[in-house]
Structure 1
Amino acid sequence: MMAVLSIVLSIAVALISWPILNLLKNYFKARSIGLPIIINPIGLFNPIWILTHRRLLPLFKSLPFGLGDWIVYSGFVSVFTNRYRLHDKHGPAYLLVTPTEISFFVDDPELVEEIVGKRKDIIKADETNEALNIFGTNVLTLNGDDWARHRRITTPPFNERNSNNVWKESLAQATGMLQTWTSQDKDGVSETAGDTMTLALHVLIAGGLGKSYSFAGGVGSLAEGHTMSYRDALKIILLNILPAVILGSLPPIPSFLLTKRIREIGVAVTEFKSHMNEMVKEERTRVNKLDSEKDNLLTALVRASDAANQGKGRNSLSHDEIMGNLFIYNVAGHDTTANTICYAIYMLAAQPEWQHWLGEEIDSVFAGNDNVETWEYEKAFPKLKRCLALMYETLRLYGPVVFIPRYTGTGSPTLKLKGKEYTLPPKTFIILGTGSLHTAPALWGSDSLSFHPDRWISKIDGTTDLEHENLKPMPVGYLPWSIGPRSCPGKKFAQVEFVAVIAHLFRRHRVKAMWALTETQETVKKRIFETLEDSGLEVTVKMYHPEKVKLIWEERT
């Protein structure tokens, strides 16, 4: 009995002492760098904390004597909610030391832009990429020559020629979405987030995968031979990415051993993979009949698969790499834009004066032409500067990506900050704080947390007409699509989609929130922004409960 007790005590001591010893080792290593240090008991990538933090946060926040103060630094929980405040407290760079890693947090505009340009010296880390490799490695998660190969194959379809197709499909999808919303009349729309996801997914599939669907059907409908639609399977995976990764790495588990939620996630992974396989199989039957100059993303991926079968390594992709890229472009190509459209609509409902501001431009550009099928991309898009300014401002305040992760790998890069050099040790995580940069008063003024899309518009001196308005260039440190070699190839795709949808929605309509009898304009505005702020980082930033604010769409008078 004593022997068993001794073994148990030894294991307990080892479990307690291991993280403490590692924490001390990392702390002394961090001290040599010369930056402010914050010590935290929870690692950035602790899966238990990632899965449970939303339930545990209220408990830790209620602890007396500041015992729960450490949670604001735990994992990526606080990156969105704190915006610029942690850097305001600790300076443009600080170190977070945990038992498992040292992380370098930085929000200096020039240094951040320098780091994102160093793709060979400062790389992507496996820890930050594993969840996005659920179906296979891809252009977002790879480094070095493999990244270059994936980028070379997947980027060409996102070209200016495709912008016209994106414009037309976005208008068509917005027509269907607006019809759905206006038909709900006084009951209000509670599915804004889900509907913008459907719209963006259909635009992506049309522009990137060559298939067109009506808004009311398409990927939201249950296809023959499936138990879950393409849209619903993707949605479940995005909302449960960590459990999905864990399930995907395990051998089959009897369903009776799993909870209902875990079974649903497992079905979503299986169904989404099946949907993607069917797309690839169907594309193979037509790829040789198409002009390679007009390839969409799926065609380019299938051609790369054929190249792999023929031993042409430089321009080839394995089947798993095709699946990985299809998944990542689904995430990056629709989830981000859908969120941006959704957040923009809610902010316009909260501050309707900006709807009038947008309406002035939209009316000027289309001059009484309500037939959206005749709206021409080449003529209209360059003139819709206020619509694009709305996108920039939405991405500034509620951008889907609030940090850019990087890693020193086996190197020890030396970085210059405010005239002083700092050498980071190997295996240091680098967290580029775009969420901080996008809201810092030093960069945006005292109203940095306020919604003012006109901050992006400049006028030629002495002029007041819309023709003489210009969109301001993106300042240093504003990185919604990143910059440099790893910048988002779908930037123009997203801009065209957003502008087309917003122009259509607000050409003849306005949006407002449903009011309770006791509410005023100010209390409604407050309620909307509370719903917006009740957001968190899943794969991207999302509202937890957008359905709390029902929206009503009416014709403009």
Structure 2
Amino acid sequence: MKLIIPLLLFVAYTAYKTYLYASKLYRNLLDARRSGIPYIVAPVWPINRLWLALEPLLMPYLRKMPFIRDKPWLMVSSGDWIWQERYGAFEKLGDTFMIVTPRYNAIYTAEAEVINQITTRRNDFPKPIQVYGTLDLYGKNVVTSEGSEWRRHRKITSPPFTEKNNHLVWNESLYQASNMVTQWVGKDGKAGKTWDNISTDAMRLSLHVISRAGFNVRCLWPGVDDDDEQALKEGAMSTAIIPEGHEMSYVESMSTMLHRIIVVLICPDWLMKYFPSDFLKKARLAYFEWGRYMKEIYQSKFDALKKSAGTNADEKLDLMGAMISSSGLLDDDATKAPTGSGLSESEILGNSFVFMLAGHETAANTITHALYFLAMNPGTQQRLQKEIDDIFGGRPISEWNYDRDLNPLFGGLAGAIMNETLRVIPPVVIIPKSNFKSGDQKLTVGGKEVIVPDNTYIGLCAAGVQRNPKYWPHGPARSAEDGGPMHPKSNLDNDLEEFKPERWLLDPNAKPLEETSDDEKARKEAEAMGVNTAPDTANTLFRPPKGAYVPFSEGYRACLGRRFAQVEILATLAVIFSQYSVELGVEDWADDEEVEKMGEKERKDVWLKARTEAERKVRDCMGTIITLQLRKGKIPMRFAKRGEEKFMFA
């Protein structure tokens, strides 16, 4: 008798949960049927936290079960299916399709026309900000807000990204990239050493650049210029120096906090504080330390601007100073929210944090991935070096000029390399949207009008649309003799899985697509809120249709720091390849002494082995946490003075 009551309660609870599951699935199925959008039914919500935790364990078994392995929902239910399947899923299910689940209906699209409609209808398809709530670490910000609150943040955070700030980004990128190269090749410039932590160094460079452009704080490169007495006197930050009142240096707190950001975002403070883990404790210390530094920098800028009645141009040049100047805080109590449409101190700190978080990984990853691709494609690298020689004419880096030199880089092969890197490996593979609480919405999909039912999650699939052959110049896939198609499931009959910057150079005289009346209306509304609507690519390069190229998103919620990142990436690539070549490390197959004794054919054979392994890692070992990057293994590379390369095959 004692066991019967608990058993009945368990049966009743299970029946109740099953009823809720089935009824919600049925209602969502009815919504899918009336939508007019092709759909598949899945038993799980793909981004359910429990499923995300169990999926890596269950998926290998599910894919072996005869009655499940061929179900289409299995293909789109892994946590990183967008990157694993790429355009292959859309080739099978259609460029826009819906997944019906017991939680939400979810629409995924690799259709440029659909993406363009969604990104230009901000009120109908807002960002699901509940996904971003954890980014309020230091205060509300432009990423975690919507509606009128977002407009207020956007009004203040957009203007600081000016051409004056881009000049600062250019100059600091040249300085930091030069020091990064010195780190790789030594102060004597002889090079020869193989590095497998290129991504770590690129992250450091990007953090240093955004620190300077964001807060006017220069960071010194450890082992290169961290003992520069003049720079230290001028306020530069060294990893080795911990100011009074702090337990961690500025540079270390910044890099540690951002490199352990997932822990900081998901772990409660009490767990990081009391759990016996040095990793967690250091992450917590970095979080508090960087917050203290930011408040000190904020107060210093506020005081300087207050004293000068807001006329101090130097303090307004960086992003934080510009936000303080525009927020109305100089007329109000700095501890309170300003009157009108400005930002409070905590909101300025919150936006400063997301600038750091969003800005450093995008630029750093693109620089890293471009180096991977150029090491695997020496012929493209040689053409880039010739272009750099033509642009700079042998001038020393100290004489490079933003106004004169950036546009030739942006509009030439360097810009094509940057664009192609972002096309093949976008920073985020999926851009989330929704129509939560905005009601049913109409869309044109595949030339016909459909309905997006209320409360639908929407994924704009960058990794899919940027491989959709409807929108991109393409040729045949790589032949079997050269290794066959780059991916086993996606774009098997074309080369859109391959890195080919030349596709951007095919039509240098192409004119921008004509703007429709709806496009013009959306553009004017966006520009009125400070949204930069200029194309992502130079007018001398191929211009994909709107919605087909979205590495910085598109429309109202497009990345504020797009030009910032582009300037940093191009300046860094120019510094590296003006003096050096990058080659794949071959130590797993032959050491330097063995390579020296090899003839050209033997060298090419060992290099091809290294390239095959590098291609495998780029294809299979990338993964998303916040951004897409190499998660398993390393791709070792070495830097050689130009003219002293060992593996420079055309």
Alignment match, 2:523:
none
Tell me the distance in 2 between the aligned counterparts of 1:332 and 1:254: 24
SS at match of 1:502: helix
Check if 1:425 corresponds to 2:453. Answer: yes
Letter in 2 for 1:447: D
Q: In structure 2, do the counterparts of structure 1 residues 318 and 219 end up closer, same or farther at CA, with 3 Å as the change threshold?
A: farther
Match of 2:442 among 414, 426, 432: 414
User: What per-residue deviation string (whole Å, max 9, x for no partner) do you get for residues 498-553 of structure 1?
Assistant: 1111011001100111113366222211111222221111111111035x221111
Match of 2:622 among 524, 535, 538: 535
Q: Structure 1 unaligned runs (5+)?
A: 462-468
Alignment match, 1:223:
242
1:236–1:268 Cα contact (<8 Å) kept: yes
User: What per-residue deviation string (whole Å, max 9, x for no partner) do you get for residues 149-203 of structure 1?
Assistant: 1111111111112222111111100110000111394441121111111111111
Alignment match, 2:311:
291
- How many Å apart are 1:252 and its aligned residue? 3.0
Alignment match, 2:489:
none
1:84–1:439 Cα contact (<8 Å) kept: yes
Tell me the distance in 2 between the aligned counterparts of 1:222 and 1:325: 27
Tell me the distance in 2 between the aligned counterparts of 1:20 and 1:298: 51
Alignment match, 1:377:
402
Larger mean CA deviation between 341-350 and 46-55 belongs to 46-55
Q: Structure 2 unaligned runs (5+)?
A: 227-236, 475-493, 510-538, 591-604, 644-650
Alignment match, 1:82:
85
Match of 1:28 among 22, 27, 30: 30
Alignment match, 1:517:
589
Alignment match, 2:232:
none
2:136–2:144 Cα contact (<8 Å) kept: yes
Alignment match, 1:466:
none
Tell me the distance in 1 between the aligned counterparts of 2:436 and 2:508: 48
User: What per-residue deviation string (whole Å, max 9, x for no partner) do you get for residues 223-282 of structure 1?
Assistant: 3455555566556655665553333xx463484446555445444433443333333233
Alignment match, 1:556:
642
Q: Which has the higher helix share?
A: 1
Match of 1:108 among 108, 111, 121: 111
Letter in 2 for 1:348: L
Match of 1:486 among 546, 551, 557: 557
Alignment match, 1:269:
287
1:535–1:543 Cα contact (<8 Å) kept: yes
Residues 161-240 of structure 1 aligned to structure 2 (within 5 Å)? 161-183=164-186, 185-216=191-222, 217=226, 218=237, 223-224=242-243, 225-227=245-247
1:149–1:314 Cα contact (<8 Å) kept: no
Q: In structure 2, do the counterparts of structure 1 residues 251 and 140 end up closer, same or farther at CA, with 3 Å as the change threshold?
A: closer
Alignment match, 2:392:
366
Q: In structure 2, do the counterparts of structure 1 residues 501 and 57 end up closer, same or farther at CA, with 3 Å as the change threshold?
A: farther
Alignment match, 2:376:
350
CA RMSD of aligned residues (A): 2.8
Tell me the distance in 2 between the aligned counterparts of 1:122 and 1:201: 32
What TM-score comes out, normalization by structure 1 length? 0.90
SS at match of 2:45: coil
Match of 2:503 among 444, 449, 455: 455
Alignment match, 2:471:
443
Tell me the distance in 2 between the aligned counterparts of 1:292 and 1:479: 37
Alignment match, 1:141:
144
Q: In structure 2, do the counterparts of structure 1 residues 455 and 300 end up closer, same or farther at CA, with 3 Å as the change threshold?
A: same
1:42–1:75 Cα contact (<8 Å) kept: no
Tell me the distance in 2 between the aligned counterparts of 1:7 and 1:242: 39
What TM-score comes out, normalization by structure 2 length? 0.77
Match of 2:159 among 156, 159, 164: 156
Tell me the distance in 1 between the aligned counterparts of 2:332 and 2:583: 53
Q: In structure 2, do the counterparts of structure 1 residues 63 and 449 end up closer, same or farther at CA, with 3 Å as the change threshold?
A: same
Moved beyond 6 Å, runs of 4+:
none
Q: In structure 2, do the counterparts of structure 1 residues 178 and 60 end up closer, same or farther at CA, with 3 Å as the change threshold?
A: farther
1:307–1:315 Cα contact (<8 Å) kept: no
Tell me the distance in 2 between the aligned counterparts of 1:236 and 1:74: 33
2:582–2:639 Cα contact (<8 Å) kept: yes
Tell me the distance in 2 between the aligned counterparts of 1:144 and 1:88: 36
- How many Å apart are 1:416 and its aligned residue? 1.1
- How many Å apart are 1:219 and its aligned residue? 7.1
Tell me the distance in 1 between the aligned counterparts of 2:217 and 2:195: 28
Tell me the distance in 2 between the aligned counterparts of 1:105 and 1:234: 35
1:169–1:206 Cα contact (<8 Å) kept: yes
Tell me the distance in 1 between the aligned counterparts of 2:161 and 2:28: 43
Larger mean CA deviation between 46-55 and 173-182 belongs to 46-55
Match of 2:418 among 365, 379, 391: 391
Q: In structure 2, do the counterparts of structure 1 residues 261 and 47 end up closer, same or farther at CA, with 3 Å as the change threshold?
A: farther
User: What per-residue deviation string (whole Å, max 9, x for no partner) do you get for residues 5-59 of structure 1?
Assistant: 3333433444455434432332222222122222233324322344565565545
Tell me the distance in 2 between the aligned counterparts of 1:243 and 1:48: 18
Letter in 1 for 2:462: T
Residues 248-327 of structure 1 aligned to structure 2 (within 5 Å)? 250=268, 252-253=270-271, 255-257=273-275, 261-288=279-306, 289=308, 291=311, 294-303=316-325, 304=327, 305-306=329-330, 309=333, 312-327=338-353
Match of 1:11 among 6, 10, 13: 13
Letter in 2 for 1:315: S
Check if 1:329 corresponds to 2:355. Answer: yes
Check if 1:470 corresponds to 2:515. Answer: no
